[in-house]
Every structure is written in structure tokens, then in C-alpha cells.
Amino acid sequence: MSTSKPRIRSEKIRLELQHTFTIAGGSAAFKENVLVFYERDGLTGVGEASHVTVKEQTAERTLHAVDQLIPLYETINPFAFADLPEQARRIAAATPPARAAIEMALMDWVGQKLNLPLYRLFGLNADRAPVTSFTIGLDTPEMMQQKTREAGPYPVLKVKLGRPDDLELIKALRAVTDKPIRVDANEGWPDKETAIKKIEWLEKQNVEFIEQPLPRKLIDETAWLKERTRLPIVADEAVFLAQDIPGIAGAYSGINIKLMKAGGLLEALRMFQVARAFNLDVMLGCMIETSIAITAGTQLQSLARWADLDGNLLLSDDPYEGAVLNNGRWRPPDRPGLGVKPSASSRR
Ligand code: MG
């Protein structure tokens, strides 16, 4: 298939949130993400980078890293994408969101060029969709109750804990809902004794699993926790790439795969396979991102036991549309590539 040289460009976008979003590490009222466009042969693929709140990642750093990746993407055969994760890591090791965005744009283009939705290109089943959770951000008990009432359509909730008043917050939620709750401590519990006390109480609160209870470096202490609870212990901050999985596999029962940690769909796919080899369950997670990156996630969701794809639901004005949510389960579009398009309400 002969192709012309691609034109690749990137831009920063500002996303307004419905609520100020708070986790154990900090909070934000808006987000700056980066879009990447891969144009070739009259088709345009789009990808998105999102960033961890109040960490070393910024849109500016991502834009810079995308610029460094463009020469690679201008010269490779777009259909020989299997070893792109390694090639891109050699250029932009410290900026996985940039690698994810440019690779997502390329894969969107490849799917369009081959006239296949990406899930079909990857041999996956769009009919198999885990229920996605909806995140209730840290806030006052009253505000968290209000957010829980607003979460009426979502059958499973995720709560960010990791503060001294965790149990009071769960009690406040349990006063207004009996839905299953997934708990994410975001490394917020300082030691295993604190964590096991909270977990033993949470076991009686219809909690599905505990995500990243301890700081990522406390691997032996996390293994100690895992032996003492029936709740799955899921790694998030402790695992970015497939190569991280063997070192933590004994301490956790599952891992949270995110495109923005993995640096793209291809490394995420590899992580699913490695996790399976180590008998780990997988949650497919996200950052705060538009329907571009969320729809990219839904292309892989049939491999996951749990989905936590709610980043676009937290925006007040999503500039794109793609996957459709139905009874808490995402359906990726039947259109080729990612299948996303600018949303009707968008001013773009
Ligand atoms: Mg997490």
C-alpha cells in the first residue's frame, strides 16, 4: 500500500471539569490535554495525551516530546507498528502520554486506512464489555453524597480514599447508596498496619477491591496485606509497563492498565498478555480525558475484568464523541479506527 509522507501536528486543549477533582496527591479545576493529528492520504487520525494531576507531567512537556517523536513517525512504515513502543521509548522515555497520543493518532489512521475498527484489527470482541465504575472525587461528606446522587446512572462507584477520615466518608456514601464501591487509596495509607485496619472494615462495606493501598515501593508490605484479605489488591502507581509486572506480581492480585502510563495501545495490549501469564486480573483505567482516549480504551476493554473508564464523564464539555455508554458498559463505535468525531456540541 503506497502512501504519501504524513503531516503530524499537535495542540494543547483546555478541559473544564464538572467538579474540582481531588485525589490524595492534589486537586484541579481544569485540565490541559494535548491532541495529536496524523494526516496522510486524505485521512486524519487523532490521539490524545492526558496527565496526572499536579505531578511532573504537563501539556508543555508532552508537546515537546511529541515534537521529538515526529521524525520517527514520519519515517516508519505505518503498518509495521508492532515494535513502536520500544522505538518511541528510546526517544521519549519520561513522557508516556506523548507516546500514547502520537501512537493513538497513528493507529486511528491505520484502522481508517484498513477500514477496520481497532478492536477488530486487534482481534478483540466488542460485545464483551465489563461494567465501568464512576469516580466520586475526594470532597466533604456532603459533597460526596451529592456527587453520589448525581451518579445515578452508573451501577458501580469508585472512591478515592487515602486520608484519616476515610471511614467517615464511606459511611456517608453508604447512607445514600448500596452500590458496589471500588476503593482507590492512591498510595495514601502510610503503612501496612493502617491499611489492614481500613481494609478489614471495608470488607464489610460491599467493596469490590482495593487499589494501590500502600506506596508503590512497599512491595513486601503489600504482599503481607494480600495474604490477609479476600479483597483483590490492585496495583496502579506500582506498574507502568509490561516489564514492571514480574516484579510486583506476587504482591498484588490485579493491575490497573492505563494508556497514559503504558504509552499507548500497543504496550497496553502487551501488558494484558503479561498480566494473564502471571495470573493477574486487569482493570482498564484512565485519566481525565476526552472521548478520544476513552474510546481508545474501549477498543481493548474486552480483555479486562474491570473497567474504570469515566474520565470523559467528568468533563463539562467533551469536544469529541465516540464510544457510547449503555447500562454502565461502553460500546466502541463500529466506525473504522478509533471511530471518534468532534462532538455536535463542540465549538471546535
Ligand atoms: Mg488509581
Q: Which CATH number is 95's domain given?
A: 3.30.390.10
Ligand 1 mean position to 158 CA, how many Å? 10
Angle ∠(60,6,33) on CA atoms, nearest 5 = 25
Note whether residue 2 is domain-resident. Answer: no
- Note whether 33 and 150 are same-domain residues: no
- Note whether 130 and 92 are same-domain residues: no
Q: Which of 116, 150, 182 is the last residue of a domain?
A: 116
Note whether residue 310 is domain-resident. Answer: yes
Is-contact 340 292, C-beta < 8 A? yes
Note whether residue 316 is domain-resident. Answer: yes
Ligand 1 mean position to 257 CA, how many Å? 10
- Note whether 112 and 125 are same-domain residues: no
Ligand 1 mean position to 67 CA, how many Å? 29
DSSP secondary structure letter of residue 301: G
- Note whether 72 and 125 are same-domain residues: no
Q: Which of 116, 144, 161 is the last residue of a domain?
A: 116
Q: Which residues are 334's β-sheet partners? A: none
Note whether residue 271 is domain-resident. Answer: yes
- Note whether 281 and 150 are same-domain residues: yes
Ligand 1 mean position to 133 CA, how many Å? 12
Ligand 1 mean position to 53 CA, how many Å? 12
Give the span between the Cα atoms of 10 and 190, in whole angstroms. 40
What's the CATH number where 330 sits?
3.20.20.120
The radius of gyration of the chain from alpha carbons, rounded to an integer in Å, stands at 20
Query: For residue 114, which phi and psi values (nearest 5 degrees)?
Result: -90, 0
Element of type H or E holding 11: strand 7-23
Ligand 1 mean position to 211 CA, how many Å? 6
- Note whether 204 and 326 are same-domain residues: yes
CA dihedral 147, 14, 335, 331 (to 10 degrees): -10
Cβ-defined contacts of 72-78 (< 8 Å, 24+): 73/6, 73/8, 73/38, 73/102, 73/106, 74/5, 74/6, 74/8, 78/3, 78/6, 78/40, 78/106, 78/109, 78/110, 78/113
Ligand 1 mean position to 213 CA, how many Å? 10
Ligand 1 mean position to 84 CA, how many Å? 26
Q: Give the per-residue pLDDT at 21.
A: 65
Ligand 1 mean position to 187 CA, how many Å? 9
Element of type H or E holding 49: strand 43-49
Is-contact 276 111, C-beta < 8 A? no
The grid cell for 194 is: 493502617
Q: Give the per-residue pLDDT at 137.
A: 83
Residue-wise pLDDT tens for the chain (348 aa)? 556 889 999 999 999 988 776 655 666 778 999 999 999 999 999 999 999 865 678 999 999 999 999 999 999 999 999 999 999 999 999 999 999 999 999 999 999 999 999 999 999 999 999 999 999 888 889 999 999 998 988 999 999 998 889 999 999 999 999 999 999 999 999 999 999 999 999 999 999 999 999 999 999 999 999 999 999 999 999 999 999 999 999 999 999 999 999 999 999 999 999 999 999 999 999 999 999 999 999 999 999 999 999 999 989 999 999 999 999 999 999 999 999 999 987 654
Q: Which of 60, 91, 116 is the last residue of a domain?
A: 116
Q: Give the per-residue pLDDT at 22.
A: 66
Note whether residue 125 is domain-resident. Answer: yes
Residues surrounding ion ligand 1 at CB below 5 Å: 184, 211, 236
- The residues, ordered by sequence, that sit 6+ positions from 244 with a Cβ below 8 Å of its Cβ are 238
Helix (H/G/I), strand (E/B), else coil: 126 = coil
Note whether residue 90 is domain-resident. Answer: yes
Note whether residue 1 is domain-resident. Answer: no
Angle ∠(129,328,199) on CA atoms, nearest 5 = 90
For the chain, how many structural domains are there in total?
Answer: 2
Which domain range does residue 187 map to?
Answer: 121-347
Ligand 1 mean position to 210 CA, how many Å? 10
- Note whether 87 and 136 are same-domain residues: no
Residue 211 CA: distances (Å) to CA of 122, 186, 256: 28, 7, 8
- Note whether 204 and 338 are same-domain residues: yes
The grid cell for 162 is: 487515602
Provide the total of helices (H) and of strands (E) in the chain, helices listed first: 12, 15
